[in-house]
Structure 1
Amino acid sequence: MRISSFRITGFAFLTFCLASFQINAQKTTTSFLESQPYHQLPITAIKPKGWLLDQLHIMQDGTTGHLDEVYAKVKNDNGWLGGRGDGWEETPYWLDGAVPLAYLLDDKVMKEKVLRYINWTIENQRPSGYFGPVTKEERVKKVLITPENCEAGEDWWPKMVMLKVMRQYFLASDDQRVIPFMTKYFKYQLQALKSCPIKKWSEWAESRGADNIMIAQWLYSINHDKSLIELANLIETQSFQWSEWFGNRTWAIGAATQQNDDHWMRRHAVNVAMALKSPSMNYQRTKDLKYLSQLKTGFNDLMTLHGLPMGIFSGDEDIHGNAPTQGVELCAITEAMFSLEEIIGITGDIQYMDALERMTFNALPTQTTDDYNAKQYFQIANQVQISRGVFDFSLPFEREMNNVLGMRSGYTCCLANMHQGWTKFASHLWYGTSAKGLAALEYSPNEITTKVGKTNTEITIKEITNYPFEDKINFEFITSKDVAFPMQLRIPSWCKEAVLTLNGREFKREKGGQVITIDRIWKNNDKLILEFPMEMTTSNWGRNSRTIERGPLVYALKLEEKWEKGNQKEEGDYFSVYPKSDWNYGLLENIVKDPKAYLTVEVKPISDKFVWNLQHAPIEITAPAKKIPNWKAVDGVAHQPVSDRTGIYRGEVEQKTEKIKLVPYGFTKVRIVAFPVVK
């Protein structure tokens, strides 16, 4: 019950009620936070280094830093600056990645750029709490938007994205204007939803309500206002019932068998990627374990029925089975990554940590150009050419532009939304713990400075590594005084046994598939080394295909590339990419039986200016293979040869054994990653 519903009969009674409310709210909130194993740290605490910093600088120089200058929809008369231009999702999408990038790099120009939109949005919030671009009703009829007049507003969905932007901004800047801004809006929304429900304007908001719930519950963890829990419950009842669908399995079966127009929004890959966080949000709010079960069932079903070797599920645009010829939308990757980052904090489940790693280091980097100015709307696992065509996509588009590399090719949502992938991954390399410790749950070169332990002592930890391209991670501790705190470390499930060395001496060995805790007094100049021996293995995928893996990376056939530039009237310049050599190889059965005996690996130094392309690939694997003469592309699609139940292709195979080269999937544009197996 909120205080406003009490009848005040005297100052003493009011004081008692206020005290009682604060105690109860604090008790609820403490439970709310303490039961969550991890929380996000301020974005400025983490400073990317090495190859990851190179990637962020590429984005800074490319569209992440300049989308408002090169993309007319965002550039011209922008609605989020008071104009008549884009007032939908694309400007907030871009900001959702540009804001953390500006603060991760401490870039003054980028900060000033993103602050224009943030300041306008905060300063132009309506008295009722409503915010966003000026609506048609406001502009033409001069009406005031209130909960009673909510139909004068516009779709809930773009505001959900801007709320995410505001949280990113708060975590980077600690600007206290964000809290009252959100508080006013959520009070408006709680009342307005009763007559303008979440689906009033579109199914986009109805299918993505979890993003709205996420921010309401985050604000609740700060201001303890129980009306936010009431709001979260209301949004959940008005939104797609993802938790129930994930848990009862009917949804997964239907999504695997139907590609028609019925309920297609329930199969839309980006909706699904966002919805992954929905059960965890319900669990965070209710502590009902059924939601964790529903999440696990849904995620496992999704990856079993639709999973691809590079760690993401298919989605072109519908989720579309596990054949290596299906596509996946770039937005689905970045949104699935963010959902996993949220899920990790709430559940502490290593399955989702491993899934995030695989998705990030394999699926994400391949779908953009070196300069981060062009992207593929859909990538394909076994992608033997990048070109115009309809391929096997459930959304082929009449202009046939969904597979090419272009700034405006396919839907431009991905041009705006691709920026949150690397930036949010970088800001989630470390999490804070309720025990005032730190958790390194994803690994890449970086440096973190934060306060830890009961003494709230500042510490800097340098994470020196070229991971995932090498198997050692060095942690160097810098502190002005000794400090006791627990440090948690993920031992990936692919690692059989990790070796930990502390100050030059072996400290312990730990099995893979767990998060370990080292609770000790850390001293200045302490050095901790994690070593994850990377063994070569193979994994089974759609149509009995096999993928070669080593550590967190999956490997694809190295094919020299032929790039061709084109132009399409409506969608502008684009690139096609074709292989210069044959791709129709099957892996020898002996590789599956004994990968170590038949595969050789060569590791090269990481280049100073790192780029995810063939020229910079630091690892090559040599494998024996034979050509399959009848495996040919049809309309650009390399349909998988059929294997029998033993996993062997029984058609014609050339007798000659050849040595083929494989590189990590993320460095390729054209490739085979899911191979048939031959005798």
Structure 2
Amino acid sequence: MNEARLRSLPPGAIAPRGWLRDQLQLQADGLTGRLEEVWPDVGPNSGWLGGSGESWERGPYYLDGLVPLAWSLDDVGLKHKASKWIEWMLASQRPDGWFGPAGNDDWWTRMVALKVLMQYAEATDDPRVVPFMQRYFAYQRAALPERPLQKWAVARGQENILAILWLHERAPDPALASLAATVLSMTVDWGTYLTEDLVQGPATRFSHLTHVVNVAMGLKLPALREMLGEQGQRDLLNKALANLDRLHGQATGMFSGDEWLAGNSPHHGTELCAVVETMFSLEVLARIYGSGVFGDRLERVAFNALAATVTADMTAHQYHQQPNQVLATIARRDWTYSSDAPNIFGLEPHFGCCTANLHQGWPKLATSLWAEDAEGGLAAIAYAPCLVRGRAIGLDVSTDYPFDETVAVRVTEAASGARRLSLRVPAWCDDARLTLNGEDLPVAPADGIVVLSREWKAGDTVTLRLPMPVRVETRLNGAVSLHIGPLTLAYCPGEIWRGIPDTPGLGDWEVMPRGSWNYGLETEAGAVSLQALVERRPPSRQPFALATAPVRVMTKGRFVKEWRLEDNSAAPPPPSPVTSNQTPRPITLIPYGCARLRICEFPRLEPQEFTGYVFD
């Protein structure tokens, strides 16, 4: 088996600070910390606690976020919550190696449970986990010939392989390589499907190949094949991602899927489970390849799609989000497969899988900000304020990124000997500036990475400045989306939140606009940047709140009266350029993640000369 370029740091080795700690604390005080109290599926009668309740994926899904959240925050109460589940899981193992609820024999649910145990073992060094997994995989080797992977497990076998590789790294065994090959032979060939057979436009019938969450998980399979010795998988992966962008891409860096792959119109949504699973796949890919490309996309998905699909106080979530979302109400929409309520905010809008699975998004981002190379050097995968404790180097990362342009990295401790500090330079930044202890350094990234190698001393400070011009991207029908750094920008028409009576948990909400949403923006044809007034402010205790959005971009637009609602959603943007005789007006754009109602793909208006307003 091949080795990954980077190795993850254990939960707790990266301590979030600043806005990221605030976001994780909101999650601890909100949905994650209170879920067991308000949702029976992970309550005391769960099958994963020995009860007679839900015994499939929801308990493990919940733990997959609870464990990294508890150890990232070093929260005693959350650790206690997680530990009772872990103890039951470890005690449930039979002599033959099988474990989990007796009423559920699905391979898939054990794949999620193994991811939980991997994180727990890294955080605690609990010596029981490795032999537990050895016994389980011995059982799986013996059982698979007669009881092969089925249904969801066939589409998600890469999660099984990931756990096998994790164990092999800690307890090498040739039998594990054989087991990985067996599991691989039973798993969907995602590389071939995404490059040769990917559905075009909205899927019209169920298939595990077009289910958006399966696709999100499947993205990591080519890299795992490379870990198992196959060649050329990076090129295949690049083609797969480009194909998804071309046929199903959204302005947030995600691909559509509401619940099946849905094309690239911004009225189609994407499922929250797909968002967090795409993030996890990108985190794995970044470590395997040591490439900055995957960190770029990871940030774009996290800071936009993840932030926007949960309320600013982290007490309610959507099942589906739309890039152009002007109503979050109970109504029939042009989904590929869904009920009437998936884009309201609440405890369990539509299926409960997202209620269980959303918890991994922010905590796993926090534990994946930095990774370690074989010599103990540290590599940046994504940027946010944090303290990092590696084997040989400690770092204090001070920044308000992505809301600000500067990342300062101060060495807090360092063992003797030269080691690498690898910094990601995003592909969107053409003019990055780098200093070491105040001295300018050249910036010539390779695969998105600049490597500084030296013997580090406590107090050494590396400052990375990433200028963020307002970038223009062309979307469906010639519409445009605007971006500043990793943030997608959106126009919010204002939000009226209306509580839905007699709903469970912490409440369900519909959201209505306060004003008109159908505006076009004035940009030059083919423009890749836009001159605009940019205002910044420090992030609030709710970093993605509408009222205190940390970034505001002022530009100009006009009302497009023929662009209207269609099937309770904003219709696809009319073909650009659009003619409008309406009075020009200033348009204030904010980060997509701060707007639960928004437009982020705008018809393009031909610029015209006018006067008559000033920016406030």
Whether TM-score is above 0.5 comes out as yes
Aligned partners of 2:327, 2:446: CA distance in 1, in Å? 37
CA contact (8 A) 1:481 1:524 kept: no
Amino acid at match of 1:59: Q
Aligned partners of 2:203, 2:501: CA distance in 1, in Å? 31
Aligned partners of 1:374, 1:41: CA distance in 2, in Å? 30
Aligned partners of 1:408, 1:257: CA distance in 2, in Å? 28
Summarize the Cα distance change of 1:281–1:392 in structure 2 as closer, same or farther, 3 Å threshold.
same
TM-score w.r.t. length of structure 1: 0.86
CA contact (8 A) 2:38 2:506 kept: no
Displacement of 1:665 in angstroms is 0.4
CA contact (8 A) 1:409 1:571 kept: no
Indicate yes or no: 2:45 matched with 1:77: yes
Aligned partners of 1:444, 1:481: CA distance in 2, in Å? 24
For residues 567-608 of structure 1, what are the alpha-carbon distances to aligned partners after superposition, in whole Å with 9 as ceiling and x for unaligned? 4779994211111111111111348647443x111112323x
Indicate yes or no: 2:533 matched with 1:600: yes
RMSD: 1.8
Displacement of 1:109 in angstroms is 1.3
Indicate yes or no: 2:106 matched with 1:155: yes
The correspondence for 2:572, drawn from 633, 637, 640, is 640
Aligned partners of 1:224, 1:481: CA distance in 2, in Å? 28
Q: Could you list the runs of 5+ residues in structure 1 that have no partner in the other structure?
A: 1-27, 136-152, 453-458
Displacement of 1:483 in angstroms is 4.5
CA contact (8 A) 2:573 2:602 kept: no
Displacement of 1:484 in angstroms is 2.3
Aligned partners of 1:466, 1:440: CA distance in 2, in Å? 16
1:418 corresponds in structure 2 to 358
Displacement of 1:500 in angstroms is 0.9
Aligned partners of 1:51, 1:554: CA distance in 2, in Å? 18
Indicate yes or no: 2:544 matched with 1:612: yes
Displacement of 1:524 in angstroms is 1.7
Indicate yes or no: 2:179 matched with 1:231: yes
Indicate yes or no: 2:592 matched with 1:665: yes
Indicate yes or no: 2:578 matched with 1:649: yes
Indicate yes or no: 2:512 matched with 1:578: yes
Displacement of 1:327 in angstroms is 0.5
Instruction: Give SS of 1:364's match.
Output: helix
CA contact (8 A) 2:321 2:343 kept: yes
Summarize the Cα distance change of 1:533–1:170 in structure 2 as closer, same or farther, 3 Å threshold.
same
The correspondence for 1:428, drawn from 356, 368, 377, is 368
Displacement of 1:134 in angstroms is 2.1
Displacement of 1:359 in angstroms is 0.6
Amino acid at match of 1:44: G
Aligned partners of 2:86, 2:176: CA distance in 1, in Å? 23
2:391 corresponds in structure 1 to 451
For residues 484-515 of structure 1, what are the alpha-carbon distances to aligned partners after superposition, in whole Å with 9 as ceiling and x for unaligned? 21110110000002111111222333469620
Displacement of 1:78 in angstroms is 1.4
Aligned partners of 2:26, 2:562: CA distance in 1, in Å? 41
Summarize the Cα distance change of 1:68–1:655 in structure 2 as closer, same or farther, 3 Å threshold.
closer
Aligned partners of 2:518, 2:201: CA distance in 1, in Å? 29
Amino acid at match of 2:123: A
CA contact (8 A) 1:557 1:671 kept: yes
Indicate yes or no: 2:127 matched with 1:176: yes
CA contact (8 A) 1:55 1:611 kept: yes
Displacement of 1:481 in angstroms is 6.2
For residues 38-60 of structure 1, what are the alpha-carbon distances to aligned partners after superposition, in whole Å with 9 as ceiling and x for unaligned? 11112221100000000000011
Instruction: Give SS of 2:116's match.
Output: helix
2:323 corresponds in structure 1 to 381
Amino acid at match of 1:659: P
Instruction: Determine what percentage of the aligned residue pairs are the same residue.
Output: 36
Instruction: Give SS of 1:659's match.
Output: strand
Indicate yes or no: 2:116 matched with 1:165: yes
Higher relative contact order (CA 8 A, sep 6+): 2
Aligned partners of 1:48, 1:190: CA distance in 2, in Å? 40
Summarize the Cα distance change of 1:258–1:610 in structure 2 as closer, same or farther, 3 Å threshold.
closer
Pairs aligned (count):
606
Summarize the Cα distance change of 1:530–1:272 in structure 2 as closer, same or farther, 3 Å threshold.
same
Aligned partners of 2:232, 2:443: CA distance in 1, in Å? 34
Equivalence map 1:90-129=2 (5 Å)? 90-129=58-97
Q: Which deviates more, 400-409 or 311-320?
A: 400-409
Aligned partners of 1:493, 1:116: CA distance in 2, in Å? 44
Indicate yes or no: 2:434 matched with 1:490: no
Instruction: Give SS of 1:95's match.
Output: helix
Amino acid at match of 2:17: K
CA contact (8 A) 1:641 1:649 kept: no
For residues 621-665 of structure 1, what are the alpha-carbon distances to aligned partners after superposition, in whole Å with 9 as ceiling and x for unaligned? 11111111111113321112332xxx4125xx1242111100010
1:44 corresponds in structure 2 to 12
Amino acid at match of 1:657: P
Displacement of 1:297 in angstroms is 1.4
Aligned partners of 2:561, 2:530: CA distance in 1, in Å? 28
2:266 corresponds in structure 1 to 324
Aligned partners of 1:572, 1:521: CA distance in 2, in Å? 52
